[in-house]
Amino acid sequence: MDSTTLLVGTLGYVMIIAMVITLFKSKTIPSIAFIAFPTVLGLILVACGYYSIEQIGALVKGGFGSTGATAALFVFSVLYFGIMTDAGLFDVVIGKLMGLIGNSVIGVCVMTSIIAIIGHLDGGGASTFLIVVPSMLPVYKKMHMKPTSLLRITVLSMGVMNLMPWAGPTMRAASVLGMEAGKLWGTLIPIQIFGILLSLGHAVVTGMQEKARGAGLNGKLAETEGEVVLDESAKEQANELARPKLFWFNFVLTIAVIALLVWDQFPSYYPFMLGVAIAILVNYGSSVKMQKKIINLHAGPALMMCSTLMGAAVLMGILVYGFNVDGKAVIAKPGVEIQIASVVTCMAEMVKLILPQFLGQHLPLVIGVLSVPLALAFDTDSYFYGMLPVVIAIGAGFGVEALPIAVAMVVCRNCATFISPMVPATLLGVGLAEVDIKDHIKNSFLYVWGFSILCMIVAVIFGILPL
């Protein structure tokens, strides 16, 4: 390895470490960090003579080419599911499910999982916690069930639903791979189906554990501790945005949007664009004032994620793209002759020197096993935009394709997303459940790690991950 590669690789590691530390200490939001740190790195490389100013511009432009579709998908999926929530689609579904619970401890646990699965269709961790925890915590208290069990069931169910193409991790991984999020999801569907069944099975096991310790309206805990009396607030006035009479229309429309996405004949964001247009017109008419109100209600989350993705385009461009013999900014792939190596390629060259050959050949499985512990220290953006490109470049040096590595990181990391203190939604969830973060992690960590490994084993069985 020559001195130039060593210098560029070292600068790359310094940039990532500085960026991750800044994000961990909450000194800035991800979008700002993703713009500022790579720009500084780029200027240093220009000063060192590795790149020219014109080449930095080409790198940034290349990065935007890999994130544009992902940003559009997120914006319109947030808008669509936000409209469906406003119209009351999920309230009706959840209300009917809750009516089936009765006094069964196991039923409460299973219903918690089902509500979390439905609630996380929009891919938003905070919104799912806001749906599940406030509605189920009173039930858990009345039945003398642990709130830590509520959280564990919820986060495992959310984790497997986080594989949806409009969810953050899948979109981030797809943008790193430079492919449509819908196509990446197509690879993950068998794992997701298994994960959903496993999360429901885990809910049953948790219910049995709670029942064994005496939970329930008539269990031994009720006999020793007495009945838990909860103050029930007055019913709120009907929301002006609710459209209960259009429930079936909205339900069919949602099924149609998801079917178009699975059909994969259009760009993954187009079904949601079409769904937003139809949903607004049918539910709220042709009033421009009302349409603006609906859009503005959900503009904040959409803009925040979109700005993060645009910032990530700068990070991806400067970190991942190099130049081929024609002087075009490209990602290094088999068969592509590279004239100027990317920063991440230089970083990978440094790691390859110390990584044993037998581990390199099984890199997807290695990173899959390590994903849950790493999730406790890395937020989602740092994990996928910082680590994934480096691991992909390392794998390329051992002849390992990028897709299996991304699949292992997405599947196994998703399981641990909502036990990580680095994820803001986790802090919201533990606050709503009145649980200390350390108790949440202690109660969930081994279950989550085992869950991720089982999903990885299924991926191997289906041939999605190489053995």
C-alpha torsion sign, points 334, 455, 165, 295: negative
User: Is the full-model pTM beyond 0.85?
Assistant: no
3-state secondary structure of 342: coil
pLDDT at residue 237 in the model: 36
With contact defined as beta carbons under 8 Å apart, do 155 and 448 qualify?
A: yes
Q: How far apart are CA 53 and CA 183, in angstroms?
A: 35
Per-residue pLDDT tens for 405-418? 999 999 999 888 89
Per-residue pLDDT tens for 224-255? 776 665 444 433 434 678 898 999 999 999 88
Determine the average pLDDT of the residues in 2-8: 90
Token pair 């009033």 is found at 287
* Helix 299-320 and helix 68-87, axial crossing angle in degrees, nearest 10: 160
- pLDDT of 43 above 80: yes
| 281 or 398, higher pLDDT | 281
Determine the average pLDDT of the residues in 151-178: 89
Strand order in the sheet with 321-324: 329-331, 321-324, 338-340
pLDDT at residue 335 in the model: 64
Determine the average pLDDT of the residues in 110-137: 83
User: pLDDT band at residue 148, thresholds of 50, 70 and 90?
Assistant: very high
Residue boundaries of the structural domains of the chain: 69-225+243-302
Alpha-carbon distance values, 452 to 2, 211, 443 (Å) = 39, 26, 16
Dmax over CA atoms of the chain, in Å, equals 78
Percent of the chain with pLDDT over 90: 33
Q: How far apart are CA 348 and CA 382, in angstroms?
A: 17
User: pLDDT band at residue 346, thresholds of 50, 70 and 90?
Assistant: confident
- pLDDT of 95 above 70: no
Rounded to the nearest integer, the mean pLDDT of the chain is 84
Alpha-carbon distance values, 407 to 29, 165, 273, 396 (Å) = 27, 13, 27, 15
User: pLDDT band at residue 90, thresholds of 50, 70 and 90?
Assistant: confident
pLDDT at residue 361 in the model: 77
| 258 or 401, higher pLDDT | 401
User: β-strands 321-324, 329-331: how paired?
Assistant: antiparallel
Both tokens assigned to 27 = 């000194």
Per-residue pLDDT tens for 365-374? 988 998 888 8
399-402's contacts with Cβ under 8 Å and 24+ in sequence apart are: 399/361, 400/360, 400/361, 400/363, 400/364, 400/466, 402/177
pLDDT at residue 234 in the model: 33
- pLDDT of 1 above 80: no
pLDDT at residue 236 in the model: 45
Token pair 């200027």 is found at 43
